[in-house]
Amino acid sequence: MTDTTAGGVSRTVTRLADGRELIYFDEGPAAAPRPPDTRPLPPSRPSVELRHDVLHDEWVTVTTHRNTRTFLPDAAACPLCPSRDGRRSEIPADDYDVVVFENRFPSFAASPEAASPETRPSPVDGEPLFARRPGDGRCEVVCFSSDHTASLGSLPPRRIRTVIEAWADRTAELSALPGVQQVFCFENRGEEIGVTLHHPHGQIYAYPFVPPRSRQVLASLERAAGRDLFGEVLAAERRAGTRIVVDGEHWTAFVPAAARWPVQLHLYPRRHVAGFPGLDEDERAELAELYPALLRACDAYYDDDAPLPYVAGWHQAPRGAHDTYRLHLQLFSIRRAPGRLKFLAGSESGMAAWINDVAPEQVAERLREVVHKDG
């Protein structure tokens, strides 16, 4: 099935050999019909369980099947490269622009008996205090390019725009799934972060609960009693100016005043938008230019020719919070100096009490320098 997204990107939906969904996002008219996935794969039946931590009021995901996932294969065996020369990968076509498919090793997946997950807790070891339920949700992989050696920051604005269209499309569809509470688009980059595949890609998690970080923000918004807290933060950063990296017509990039990480960058839309589907044409166009420029600036931050390891997460409104929660990017790196990493030791890992060795104003000054040099 082929249709067209709001941004003029052709969208073709197909299935892999084990039943998982795969979607091609083509720049312009859809390519000729792609070949089917002929690999002898058994049906996909991942086992996912959520267990409730009653002291912290948090759900922990248990996924024993993920411990056998692919780990840093050679480029010749990359499962995200196109299928070529008799080698079959996760993508049957011999080329593509952007591809999204269901993760073969998901952290969340619809259970066969899927119903409202909130109504099906059951105890661990018969103890009612230890509730558990199926991890009904969905995890997808987003391949940004067929070029194994590329990075998201190296791609042209046209390709970034296609990625944005894919994020918007998937956010809209996944948000409509029963039980999904929040959709999170993110990219892990670098072995130091823990990536298991070098091919340029990101992921999308459709959570069956509101994750702890979002719950903290929602609690702050509730205490703000109707104030636009995101808007207030953005306005205060723009007034101060010392941590602003780029101030565009529709987007503002800044280092937050209370940054936790050695390199940290936030990107906010200037108006209130709950998620990618709500972005208008001008906002998407500016983001397609600005985002890769910021990623290139991050790579140039240390002047050591080593790509910056980072996590770039796009936070979107949880279910029911579209009027108060604003779409925004939070990017951070664990590299605190060339060749040195920030490890989360006792205070951060044990107590979630953060200690930053770098002044946020210093980080913003360096990012402004490299952004302007690149531009």
Residues marked active site are found at 201
How many angstroms separate the CA atoms of 366 and 316, rounded? Answer: 28
Phi, psi of 157 (to 5 degrees): -55, -35
Helix axis angle, 360-374 to 281-299, nearest 10°? 100
Residue 140 DSSP SS3: strand
**Which residues, 6 or more positions from 191, have their beta carbon under 8 angstroms from its beta carbon?**
72, 309
- Judge contact between 360 and 264, C-beta under 8 A: yes
Residue 334 Cα to chain centre, angstroms: 17
* Exposed/middle/buried for residue 33 (C-beta within 10 Å: 0-12, 13-18, 19+): exposed
- The token pair at 233 is 């933060």
Place of tokens 């987007």: 251
**Which residues, 6 or more positions from 295, have their beta carbon under 8 angstroms from its beta carbon?**
151, 152, 153, 312
- Judge contact between 118 and 134, C-beta under 8 A: no
| DSSP notation for 161-204 | HHHHHHHHHHHHHHHTSTT--EEEEEEEESTTTT-S--SSEEEE
How many angstroms separate the CA atoms of 152 and 200, rounded? Answer: 7
Of 212, 141, 171, the residue nearest 317 (C-alpha): 171
- Judge contact between 278 and 327, C-beta under 8 A: yes
H/E stretch holding 282: helix 281-299
- Judge contact between 255 and 211, C-beta under 8 A: no
